[in-house]
Structure 1
Amino acid sequence: MRKLHAKSRLGCKVCKVRRVKCDETRPSCKRCSQTGRTCSFLADVPVLPPSIPSPPNSSSTESVPSATPSVVLEPLPNVRGPGSAHYKPAHSSLEERYGSLHLRLLYLFEHQPSEHMRLTHPGLDDLLQMMIKEAFRTPYVMDQVLAYSAALESVRDQNDREAQKLYAIEATRLQTRALTLYNNANPQASADTCLPMFIFTSLLAHHTLFDVLSDSKKDLGAVINGLARSIPVHRGLMAVAAACWSMFSPELQKQFLQTCLREPLDINITSDDECDSLKTRLKNSDLSVSSITIHLEAVELLQGLFDNERNAASLKQGNLAPLQDWLVGVSPEFVSCIQQRRPESLIILAFYGVMLHRASDYWFVGDLGKRLIHLINGQLGPAWEDWLAWPNGMVEYNKEAGEYA
């Protein structure tokens, strides 16, 4: 006879069906984790709020812009692991209390950032203290801080797949909750809110790139969908950051700028022709005039960012801004071409992969650049290898072996 147990109304559904006692550990109870079952707690994620349509453009010259701009961000529908972001829980997880896992994540965020970032970014410790202080004041910042920490932990220990899975799921859950809190609060940029808003958008920008990195482990379609999904988010983040930046004191601006600088990139600062051959090939291609224009605009933007990267290297400076600037700057028409997998569009994306590759020492970028270029080579095949010669050379891609040196 099976041993009776005390009933738990808050236990997971799997344990209830199995008629065993649930310890109610989240995001996955111990019984389910130990037996390899998918705990129903993993699906306990807030419903994504509906997207808010942009107001129609007005040509009226009498309209007065708001002195306190507000940008509503839409959660990314990227859930790494079992469970659905569209599952409707019986209770609102926004009311959940923080547990021991979250205390651990907060400790790790403060004391164990990636070794690379601590070594290359002066003043990081002071910035972390500022972020934690704002996290205790602002709930959506706290959840994004914890989500960021969980995402980092999901890639830290490569030998513990179960822990990686748990942290990845919790990172997605916390990110979704942070975005929901932000959207519900609908903060207006002001002297009181600009700092937490800026911290939130900065962390979320990194986290969004990490989501694309996770997609890159699947296939090219997943990466393209992830990038396309991230572009409007990056645009919203940059709009918030720009609105808040002007409200910072010169001292605070200086602190952020010093922390964002990194060690100079080891690149050839005399070269200024990364995209010259690509522009020539596009001009001589069979694309329509309008399509050539769309593609050349994306290439010109990319070349300008390569130029800025070299200038920063010559000044012994560097930062991550170019990665976001290109995503924000490309036109919707070009994004549509990428989604259609037009060969010329994918090749431009491979050139952008070189820029990602140069930031591979950041944990949330990792080998995304290499993976992206590899997937594009596999999609296009030998017929386009001349077009891909430069990005392949930059990441030492061996086309015969189909791998990297």
Structure 2
Amino acid sequence: MKLSIFISSAIFAATTLAAPRKRGLADRVQRRACARHLSAPAKIVHEGDITVGSNVSHAVQYSNNWAGAVLTAPPSGTTFNAASGQFTVPTASSAGGQAGSASIWVGIDGDTYGNAILQAGIDVSVGADGSQSYDSWYEWWPNDATDFSTGQFSFTAGDIISISITSTDSSDGITVLTNESTGQTVSQAVSAPSGSSTLGGQNAEWIVEDYENGGSLVPFANFGTVAFSSCVAGTADGQSVGTVGATVLEMKDSNGNVLTDVSLPSSSEVQVVYHFLQHVLLSPAQASLGRSPQLAHLLNQPLSPPQSSSPTSFTEFNGALGTIRTPAAELIPSAILPNRPTLNIADLELLHNYDTSTSYTLATIPALQNFLRLNVPRIAFSQPFLLHGILAISALHLAHFKKDLRSHYLTQAHHHYQLGLRIATPLLAVMNEYTSSALYLFSTMITTFTLGMGPRAGDFLLFGEHGLAEGLVLFRGMRSLLEYHPEILEKSDLAPMFSISIRQVLRQPSNDQHLESLRHCILESTTNFADVQVYLEALEKLSRSFPPNSTSGSRPSQTSPQTAFVWLWRLSDEFLSCLQKRDPIALVILAHFCVLLNDLGSLWCMKGWADHLLSEIHKSLGEEHRMWMNWPMEEIGWIPGT
């Protein structure tokens, strides 16, 4: 609910005092994608319950312009008179080859109380050429927003910004912005523009916004992740209130695509993640099957050959992990591969943790553990996106176990995850024998990252509000490419790993009596031959993930993540489509897969997923098909309603 327009470089540089912005769209496009105009209130598509954090339920709403969390009512007998929070300034990237912008702010009122908003925040913007720009501002809506000049307050990507909003009474307030990284602070007293726009003290919010200019939403920038921390709302009687009970706002575009993924990791945190892969690569229909237009096109194209085969096309150096052979820069377009940043102490800590701890948790087979610990980092040293993937997984691993530093490590995890994703995605278009191994490994890492973030409302891995989970989109896309071009891995660095996986795929199906019983139920109850074939193919592939001679209680010592997740790799698009439609038999088959997930429940990245999926499956089934999932429920020990 704020006003904004683009301003030119010359005008911005000449500004020495805070001033309302009232310039036109042409200037906006020339300078930055950060226009503020009157934003519509959050338009609710539908509501439900979302479980986030420690078994706390939050209402969820869908808006066309807001994403984040809102406290919709103060404690009984009082009002909100303060709101504060901090976050790390993200790096914006284009969400479709065009300029874009996003606002990040903290405010009082403007949701259920619509007369006014007292707010302050920043804009992060990206030009069509990738150039970055930033603004800071304050606003008492319905007045225009007012910029702080760069002399008053400056910041850049990676800086930590704290925002404090205080209303001294219903007509007066103070906004304070602090750059915790530089120590610079700016404050501004502000008053209500009229007697009809005073504060009610009914809402406090932490928001990432896509705002309007000229009645239309401006192009929304990919902001990566905004992790609000230290989120506190103050009340007139001296209470401090966290985000417990806040309403979660997700953003949807005009096509119904969900653009954000909001979670509340704790009572003082709000995390807003931009759905990069799904928004940029996939239409809604393609998202449900995990195939992008780019991938579909690539399936019919020959692989990009190396542009040079001479010895000078490589750089070699010897290190502790052996000789690293790096393809020449001309093999990878310079627009895709940015300059490598120098590793800092935080990165070295993450790399050390991966080598000494995280790598051992990603597999149960000793040979695979050694491969992940030794071979994968060696490959990553010549492919920066994979190195970012390693650091992201390591940071997420640390966030699970170092509770006092959870917010710190989550910020690092999302930072490296987004950087890796931005580099890896366009490389699919030029994938060849030099990038294929790293791209495949990166696809498995973002799958682990998705699982490690824990169950989310509306996300059930293979179906849900967002279609196929983001972490599985690239994973499934790599499968499609490799099925058409298996030769790229025949002599690759991944040969040792694939030799182990192939043995799992080719082994005899399990003779588990419960899977056989399900097979008979499918044959007896389904008359459509095509559907039967889809179901039985998925069930037969699932049976190969169960150990031979499988019996109750024997799996935990035999199941490995690779054995279980090879099923996700091999599933047909037709079966995924059935899941997205919540076809009852497909859901029952997925319920049986949950037995394997439960066997892996001791792994840090798998906790909670079996119960999360079973709960949604049970809720989606009628009484007849609920009987079919009795065995998974008994084996896991899951009770409806828990």
TM-score with structure 1 setting the length: 0.67
By how many angstroms is 1:395 displaced?
1.0
By how many angstroms is 1:348 displaced?
1.0
Residue type at the aligned position of 1:183 = T
The higher-RCO structure (CA 8 Å, 6+ apart) is 1
**Cross-structure match for 2:53:** none
CA offsets per residue over residues 104-140 of structure 1, 9 Å max, x none?
Answer: 2222212332765688635745742433333333211
Q: Give structure 1 stretches of 5+ with no counterpart.
A: 59-63, 70-91, 263-268
CA offsets per residue over residues 344-377 of structure 1, 9 Å max, x none?
Answer: 2211110111122223333322332233223322
Equivalents in 2 of 1:270, 1:9: separation in Å? 59
1:111 matched to 2:356: yes
From 607, 622, 625, the equivalent of 1:384 is 625
Equivalents in 2 of 1:9, 1:165: separation in Å? 21
Equivalents in 2 of 1:380, 1:283: separation in Å? 19
From 362, 375, 378, the equivalent of 2:603 is 362
From 180, 201, 205, the equivalent of 2:422 is 180
**Cross-structure match for 1:340:** 581
**Cross-structure match for 1:23:** 181
| Secondary structure in structure 2 of the residue aligned to 1:141 | helix
Equivalents in 1 of 2:299, 2:460: separation in Å? 32
By how many angstroms is 1:258 displaced?
7.5
Does the aligned pair in 2 maintain the 1:323–1:356 contact within 8 Å?
Answer: yes
**Cross-structure match for 2:450:** 211
Equivalents in 1 of 2:561, 2:525: separation in Å? 33
1:288 matched to 2:528: yes
Matching of residues 97-246 of structure 1 within 5 Å:
97=341, 99-113=344-358, 116=361, 121-122=366-367, 124=369, 127-157=372-402, 159-160=403-404, 163-186=405-428, 188-190=431-433, 193=434, 197-212=436-451, 214=453, 216-219=455-458, 224-225=463-464, 228-229=468-469, 230-238=471-479, 239=481, 242-246=486-490
Structure 1 residues 141 and 256: CA distance shift in structure 2, 3 A: same
Does the aligned pair in 2 maintain the 1:205–1:237 contact within 8 Å?
Answer: no
CA offsets per residue over residues 191-233 of structure 1, 9 Å max, x none?
Answer: xx26xx4355235314314414646242566762367245542
Structure 1 residues 123 and 236: CA distance shift in structure 2, 3 A: closer
CA offsets per residue over residues 281-319 of structure 1, 9 Å max, x none?
Answer: 2222256343333222222222233356969x99x9764
Equivalents in 1 of 2:420, 2:398: separation in Å? 18
Structure 1 residues 388 and 124: CA distance shift in structure 2, 3 A: closer
| Secondary structure in structure 2 of the residue aligned to 1:18 | strand
Residue type at the aligned position of 1:176 = Q
Residue type at the aligned position of 1:298 = A
1:8 matched to 2:154: yes
Residue type at the aligned position of 2:440 = T
Q: Give structure 2 stretches of 5+ with no counterpart.
A: 1-150, 165-174, 184-223, 234-267, 282-291, 307-335
Structure 1 residues 40 and 373: CA distance shift in structure 2, 3 A: closer
1:272 matched to 2:512: yes
Structure 1 residues 222 and 198: CA distance shift in structure 2, 3 A: closer
Does the aligned pair in 2 maintain the 1:13–1:40 contact within 8 Å?
Answer: no
Equivalents in 1 of 2:533, 2:510: separation in Å? 28
Structure 1 residues 257 and 317: CA distance shift in structure 2, 3 A: farther
From 306, 311, 314, the equivalent of 2:546 is 306
Structure with greater helix percent: 1
Does the aligned pair in 2 maintain the 1:299–1:348 contact within 8 Å?
Answer: yes
By how many angstroms is 1:334 displaced?
1.8
Does the aligned pair in 2 maintain the 1:215–1:223 contact within 8 Å?
Answer: no
Structure 1 residues 44 and 236: CA distance shift in structure 2, 3 A: closer
- RMSD of aligned residue pairs (Cα, Å): 4.8
| Secondary structure in structure 2 of the residue aligned to 1:351 | helix
| Secondary structure in structure 2 of the residue aligned to 1:137 | coil
Structure 1 residues 34 and 67: CA distance shift in structure 2, 3 A: closer
Does the aligned pair in 2 maintain the 1:123–1:259 contact within 8 Å?
Answer: no
Structure 1 residues 24 and 182: CA distance shift in structure 2, 3 A: farther
Does the aligned pair in 2 maintain the 1:121–1:261 contact within 8 Å?
Answer: no
CA offsets per residue over residues 236-258 of structure 1, 9 Å max, x none?
Answer: 33455955531148xx8458867
Equivalents in 2 of 1:307, 1:111: separation in Å? 29
Percent of aligned positions that are identical: 18
Does the aligned pair in 1 maintain the 2:482–2:488 contact within 8 Å?
Answer: yes
Structure with greater strand percent: 2
Structure 1 residues 282 and 14: CA distance shift in structure 2, 3 A: same
- After the TM superposition, which of the residue ranges 134-143 and 111-120 deviates more from structure 2? 111-120
**Cross-structure match for 1:81:** none
By how many angstroms is 1:341 displaced?
1.3
Residue type at the aligned position of 1:177 = L
TM-score with structure 2 setting the length: 0.45
Question: How many residue pairs are counted as aligned between the two chains?
Answer: 351
CA offsets per residue over residues 160-218 of structure 1, 9 Å max, x none?
Answer: 3xx3344334323322321221234455433xx26xx4355235314314414646242
Equivalents in 2 of 1:258, 1:294: separation in Å? 27
Equivalents in 1 of 2:603, 2:589: separation in Å? 22
By how many angstroms is 1:143 displaced?
0.8
Equivalents in 2 of 1:227, 1:46: separation in Å? 14
